[in-house]
Structure 1
Amino acid sequence: MRAIWTGSIAFGLVNVPVKAYGATEDHDIDLHQVHDKDGGRIRYERRCEVCGKKVAYKDLDKAYEDGERTIVLTDEDMDALPAEKSREIEVVQFVPAEQIDPLMLEKSYYLQADSKSPKAYELLRRTLEDTEKLAVVRFALRQKTRLGILRVREKVMVLQAVMWADELRDATLVSPEKSPRISEQELKMSATLVEQYSSDFTPEEFEDDYQVQLQALIEAKIEQGEELDTDATFGEVGDEGESGDVIDLMEALKRSIDGRKSKTAPKSSGKKKSAAEK
């Protein structure tokens, strides 16, 4: 695995050399677009609106429109920005984990010690673990200044990008003007249902159903071609959950609780009780 960034963490006067690696990867099946008439591959061209010629990536610059003019920014212009030249992850404060809104979290990177003496890295990692705090940091990556947090996962420090405050939209924009009335009984039954579904989170137990089904579809298409019968492959799928019918909330809660009970109830051993047990 190749490092995508090399620099250092500035922790007060302590300097921690690190390499950053992408902590996540996409598992989606790669698809491309084709013409539905003949299956021909659809490709997108970078074509100049002035001269009409196709343009290579190496000949592309960025530009800003101010309403009257086009201000062209070359790679040299972008590289000259002080923030872009920085190879430092600056620790600015330590905060409790609950103060970071998960909605603000973005891409994650594993940080590996980039030094023959990884003591500074180990010191910061242990400090984060012992204090149970997150380090708020500032850093520059891929022509963008970012806010982030440092935390520990499985003895490795993780850098996680955080959205700037003005990038997060106000939730009140979609909140209802008037909240509907919820009875105590409805709340109690809803809490009971939550309790029945409660357990420790084990992400390994879940899989991407869409990608599994897409792979099955591709394999079936390879075997059967255009004669593919999707109902035979997947079974008939109804429009579940798309009905406009209004259901009784209490009745739905009762049925949900009863259904969950039947799924989690211990199975009978099949042994008959003795007279003494009766």
Structure 2
Amino acid sequence: MHTVWKGSISFGLVNIPVKLHAATDNKDVKLRQLHKECHTPISYKKVCEGCQAEVKDEDIVKAYEYTKNKFVVLDEEDLENLRKENEDKSVEIIDFVKLEEIDPIYFEKTYYLSPDNTGGKAYVLLRKTLEESGKIGVAKITIRSKEQLAIVRVYKNTLVMEIIHFPDEVRDVGDVPNIPSVEAVVQKELDTALMLVEQLTTEFDPTKYTDDYRTALMQLIEEKKTESTVVANEKRPLPDNVTDLMSALQASLDKTKKPKTRKRATTTRTKKNA
């Protein structure tokens, strides 16, 4: 399993060398875009909106747009120094809270935590502590130059780190439009709805839920593969001006040459007449 991050996590004076691994996979079926006429993959170029010129990576700088069309340009050296200052590979659990106190809207991405070679004992200690206390740890971690808020909890027999949003990253629910105000609900309708919920209530079994669209899409792709496989055309070589010029000159020469067979025939007739 690929290691995303390597460092240590601590609570109090207990330090645990750990590795971070992505706990989920994106199973989306990725489709390429082809030119309808020749089935060649479409590529995208970076073009300057001002001069319409294609821009190379080395000619691009990063900037922050603080108001419309006004930017603060940031040097790569300054950004690198800032990253080094904040890239602490040691994660300290700041607080312990109950999991149910955190609304699911805060959760973003899940990672598995595995102990490094020397961290097995401390890893088990933290896992057992969280299990016995019924609490989860709140911590901060820097991944790919971005500081993240996170929680550490137990999933089956493994420590899991959940990256969660900072409070200012969650939009204000008051900004959601067209939310109906409190209205009277007919008791009979409510009773019927509650009865329906009761009938559909069961234990959560994730294996019973499948991505039907992805399954159908992959089935369609397999059927298309057996019928006929579309092969993308190879990139055509760009025209060579020198070659084109030589071809044009040669064609011109060939066109202006006199037929040799006609000349011989004329010579033969002349000899006979003599």
Q: Rate the CA distance shift 1:117–1:5 in 2: closer, same or farther, 3 A.
A: closer
User: How has the CA–CA distance of structure 1 residues 199 and 149 changed in structure 2, closer, same or farther, with 3 Å as cutoff?
Assistant: same
Describe the SS at the equivalent of 2:30: coil
Give the structure 2 partner of residue 22 of structure 1. 22
Larger radius of gyration: 2
Q: How many angstroms does 1:182 deviate by?
A: 1.1
Work out whether residues 83 and 145 of structure 1, in 8 Å CA contact, stay in contact via their aligned partners in 2.
Answer: no
Aligned residue for 2:96? Answer: 94
1:261 maps to none
CA 43–84 in structure 1, closer or farther in 2 if over 3 Å, else same = farther
Alignment of 1:33-112 (within 5 A): 33-48=33-48, 52-56=53-57, 61-67=61-67, 68-74=70-76, 76-81=77-82, 84-112=86-114
Structure 1: runs of 5 or more not aligned: 227-278
1:114 CA drift (Å): 1.1
Q: Which residue of 2 aligns with 1:154?
A: 156
1:221 Cα deviation after fit? 2.5
Report the secondary structure of 2:96's partner residue: strand
Larger RCO, structures 1/2 (Cα 8 Å, 6+ apart): 2
Partners of 1:62 and 1:129 in 2: CA distance:
45
Unaligned runs of 5+ in 2: 230-274
**Counterpart of 1:77 in structure 2: which amino acid?**
D
Measure, in 2, the Cα distance between the counterparts of 1:177 and 1:153.
38
Contact 2:18–2:115 (CA under 8 A) maintained in structure 1: yes
Whole-Å Cα distance in 2 between the matches of residues 59 and 119 of structure 1? Answer: 51
Cα pair distance change 1:37/1:97, threshold 3 Å: same
Q: Does the CA contact (< 8 Å) of 1:105 and 1:161 recur in 2?
A: yes
Q: Deviations over 1:75-133 (max 9, x none)?
A: x4223225532112221101011111101101111111013242111111111111111
Structure 1 residue aligned with 2:224: 221
Matched residue SS, 1:80: helix
- How much has 1:46 moved relative to structure 2? 3.0
Q: What residue number does 1:9 align with? A: 9
Length-normalised TM-score, structure 2: 0.74
State, as a whole percentage, how many aligned pairs show the same letter.
37
Match status 1:209 vs 2:212: yes
Q: TM-score, with normalisation over the residues of structure 1?
A: 0.73
Secondary structure at the residue paired with 1:9?
strand
Opposite residue 109 of structure 2, the aligned amino acid is: K
Q: CA shift at 1:48, angstroms?
A: 4.9
Corresponding residue for residue 196 of structure 1: 199
* 1:61 CA drift (Å): 4.4
**In structure 2, C-alpha distance between the alignment counterparts of 1:122 and 1:182, rounded to whole Å:** 51
Contact 2:2 2:21 in 1 (8 A): yes
**Residue 61 and residue 151 in structure 1: after superposition, are their counterparts in 2 closer, same or farther (change >3 A)?**
farther
Partner of 1:182: 185
Deviation string for 1:218-250 (max 9, x for gaps)?
Answer: 123334459xxxxxxxxxxxxxxxxxxxxxxxx
Contact 2:17 2:118 in 1 (8 A): no
Paired residues of 1:83 and 1:140 also in contact (CA < 8 A): no
Does the 8 Å contact 1:48/1:55 carry over to 2? Answer: no
Cα offset, 1:30, TM superposition: 2.0
